[in-house]
């Protein structure tokens, strides 16, 4: 959403909360106002004061058009008069084009809420638009498109009182020159994810204190294209590119370089690169002097839609992928879709597999866009990031729902392992794993559709004939998700947006799904 911040005499933008019924806008607005020690106004309360009755009663007596007219007038008055402060808008207020225009000078915060949560909270209320599940769901989808278009900030669905650490960063949005702020919630307080084409040309406020030195870590290929885009690097540590170098030996080289640079815990690592760089640099940061901060600057599609978020770091062992690692949440993630322009076609295609995976998990507008065969644009990247961040907010350490993010990865990782990480890019292996997972899900039509999407961008839909099916099958049994003596659990798809984790599947079915990938 564009902003005109040119006039120094302009009033301070208000923080305006939008969202669907049951999103917790009043609670969220009160929390933000308390942190900022500023005034909070709830438009629904103001409407009820003016009309002298409750909104449902006024709605029933006078009808929706009359209510919307009052709602629009009061919202426009509050937005025009605002000089700072916090405003909670009614869920449908943003349908007004005049209100949309008035929001342009303010910071719009979308409080995300799932359809299931919204319906659970609203169905027993006296809200006139919450009487029928079908019409409620249709309205939810319609409004979501509006909130998404208007939002400068997206906050995940968690207890709104847990988002206090986001408030100082939300205040920085007017200085971010049009960047979208996605807030990543973690038990430790969360971190900002900034998304904007051209972001690295004009970075938002850096998330760490002045005086904390920026130590770049990247690979030799990325260094050539992007290392110079990150300003004020005190040092740059490079290592050879490729999954084959995501090892403890490479970590030792990077640790030694940090020692040579005199890095302390008051400094921080900047991981500039794709999934390999992000995983390795994050692991180095998590272990060096028992932990220094890391800022992720993802430069590949797979990193921008998936691996840069959530705090999983690690390296490979010869026996299996990502067997040594740690959870180490970044201090921030800086996402500039423009940097993808330097990627070769094969690398973009590899990242597309993670886009398809994420769309299958999310369903809804993201799946509709991807299933249409449309190109990956900045909005697609933002939607993928939002999906990943919400899943991690629900489950940081793979105790439950986060396991859905492993869709396609168990067999994909096994293929990478038996080929010594040299035959396929990570995304290429994940694409094959997705096809196997959809066969295991009994989703033949969806498997065919996904196969067409993958093939359209040049991704393989069959394994190399030299790959041994039994070796891949055996490698799945060593997957790090296996617990005790139980078989490794799989993720299956009931439908786009309905993905189930923790599924124990027969060994013969797993082998058959792998064999179906053979030429």
In this predicted model, what pLDDT tens digit does every residue of 340-380 receive, in sequence order?
999 999 999 999 999 999 999 999 999 999 999 999 999 99
Structure tokens at 356: 């398809």
The tens digit of pLDDT for each residue in 397-407 reads: 888 999 999 99
**Spatial separation of the C-alpha atoms in residues 310 and 308, rounded to whole Å:** 7
What single-letter DSSP state applies at residue 14? P
Report pLDDT for 485: 63
- Half-sphere exposure of residue 190, counting CA atoms within 13 Å on the CB side? 26
Report pLDDT for 205: 86
Instruction: Judge: domain 375-515, CATH 1.20.1090.10.
Output: yes
Contact 336, 380 (CB under 8 A): no
Percent of the chain with pLDDT over 90: 87
Provide the whole-model pTM: 0.93
Overall average pLDDT of the 101-110 stretch: 98
CB atoms inside a 10 Å sphere around CB 64 = 13
- The whole-chain average pLDDT of the chain stands at 94
**Spatial separation of the C-alpha atoms in residues 83 and 338, rounded to whole Å:** 35
For the domain bounded by 15-175, which CATH number is listed?
Answer: 3.40.50.300
Overall average pLDDT of the 105-130 stretch: 94
Overall average pLDDT of the 233-262 stretch: 97
Residue 482 has pLDDT above 70, yes or no: no
Report pLDDT for 10: 77
**Spatial separation of the C-alpha atoms in residues 17 and 154, rounded to whole Å:** 10
Report pLDDT for 4: 52
Contact 39, 33 (CB under 8 A): yes
Overall average pLDDT of the 9-23 stretch: 93
Report pLDDT for 3: 52
**Spatial separation of the C-alpha atoms in residues 113 and 100, rounded to whole Å:** 21
Report pLDDT for 397: 86
Report pLDDT for 484: 59
- Report angle CA 256, 262, 263 to the nearest 5 degrees: 85
Contact 282, 294 (CB under 8 A): yes
Task: Please list, in sequence order, all residues whose beta carbon lies within 8 angstroms of the beta carbon of residue 63, skipping any fewer than 6 positions away.
Answer: none
Highest mean pLDDT pick, 123-132, 199-208, 411-420: 411-420
Residue 156 has pLDDT above 90, yes or no: yes
Report pLDDT for 382: 98
Report pLDDT for 2: 47
The tens digit of pLDDT for each residue in 418-443 reads: 999 889 999 999 999 999 999 999 99
Report pLDDT for 125: 87
**Spatial separation of the C-alpha atoms in residues 480 and 488, rounded to whole Å:** 8
Report pLDDT for 338: 96
Report pLDDT for 187: 83
Residue 8 has pLDDT above 80, yes or no: no
Report pLDDT for 286: 98
Query: At the topology level of CATH, where does 197-343 sit?
Result: Rossmann fold (3.40.50)
Domain ranges across the chain:
15-175, 197-343, 375-515
The sign of the dihedral angle between the CA atoms of 480, 483, 487, 493 is negative
- Report angle CA 417, 310, 339 to the nearest 5 degrees: 80
Report pLDDT for 421: 87
The tens digit of pLDDT for each residue in 271-282 reads: 999 999 999 999
Fold match, 197-343 / 375-515: no
Helical segments of 151-267, H only = 167-170, 220-225, 248-260
């Amino acid at each position: 959403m564009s902003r005109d911040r040119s006039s120094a005499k302009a009033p301070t933008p208000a923080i305006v909360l939008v969202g669907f019924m049951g999103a917790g806008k009043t609670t969220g607005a009160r929390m933000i106002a308390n942190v900022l020690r500023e005034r909070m106004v709830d438009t629904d309360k103001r409407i009820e004061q003016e009309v002298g009755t409750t909104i449902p009663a006024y709605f029933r007596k006078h009808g929706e058009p009359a209510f919307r007219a009052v709602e629009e007038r009061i919202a426009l008055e509050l937005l025009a008069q605002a000089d700072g402060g916090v405003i909670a808008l009614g869920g449908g207020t943003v349908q007004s084009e005049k209100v949309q225009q008035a929001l342009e000078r303010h910071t719009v915060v979308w409080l995300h809420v799932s359809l299931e949560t919204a319906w659970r909270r609203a169905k027993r209320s006296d809200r006139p638009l919450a009487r029928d599940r079908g019409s409620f769901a249709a309205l939810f989808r319609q409004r979501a498109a509006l909130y998404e278009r208007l939002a400068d900030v997206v906050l995940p669905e968690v207890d709104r009182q847990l988002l206090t650490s986001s408030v100082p960063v939300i205040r920085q949005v007017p200085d971010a020159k049009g960047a979208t702020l996605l807030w990543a919630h973690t038990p430790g307080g969360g971190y900002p994810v900034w998304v904007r084409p051209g972001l690295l040309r004009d970075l938002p406020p850096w998330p760490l204190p002045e005086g904390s030195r920026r130590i770049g870590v990247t690979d030799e290929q990325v260094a050539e294209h992007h290392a110079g885009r990150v300003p004020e690097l005190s040092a740059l540590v490079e290592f050879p590119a490729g999954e084959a170098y995501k090892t403890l030996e490479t970590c030792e080289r990077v640790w030694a370089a940090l020692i040579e640079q005199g890095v302390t815990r008051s400094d921080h690592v900047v991981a500039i690169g794709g999934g390999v760089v992000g995983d390795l640099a994050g692991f180095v940061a998590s272990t060096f002097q028992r932990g220094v901060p890391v800022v992720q600057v993802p430069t590949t599609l797979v990193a921008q839609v998936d691996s840069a978020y959530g705090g999983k770091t690690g390296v490979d062992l010869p026996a299996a992928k990502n067997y040594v690692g740690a959870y180490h949440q970044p201090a921030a993630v800086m996402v500039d879709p423009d940097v993808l322009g330097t990627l070769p076609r094969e690398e973009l295609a590899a990242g597309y597999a993670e886009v398809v995976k994420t769309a299958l998990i999310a369903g809804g507008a993201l799946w509709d866009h991807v299933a249409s065969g449309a190109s990956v644009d900045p909005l697609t990247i933002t939607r993928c990031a939002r999906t990943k961040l919400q899943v991690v907010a629900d489950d940081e350490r793979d105790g439950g729902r986060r396991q859905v993010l492993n869709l396609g990865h168990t067999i994909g990782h096994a293929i990478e392992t038996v080929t010594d990480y040299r035959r396929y890019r990570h995304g290429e292996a994940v694409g094959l794993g997705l096809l196997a997972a959809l066969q295991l899900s009994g989703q033949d039509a969806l498997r065919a559709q996904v196969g067409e999407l993958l093939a359209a961008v040049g991704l393989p839909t069959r394994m190399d004939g030299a790959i041994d099916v039994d070796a891949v099958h055996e490698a799945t049994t060593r997957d790090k998700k296996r617990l005790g003596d139980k078989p490794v659990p799989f993720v299956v798809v009931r439908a786009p947006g309905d993905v189930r984790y923790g599924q124990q599947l027969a060994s013969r079915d797993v082998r058959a799904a792998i064999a179906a990938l053979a030429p």
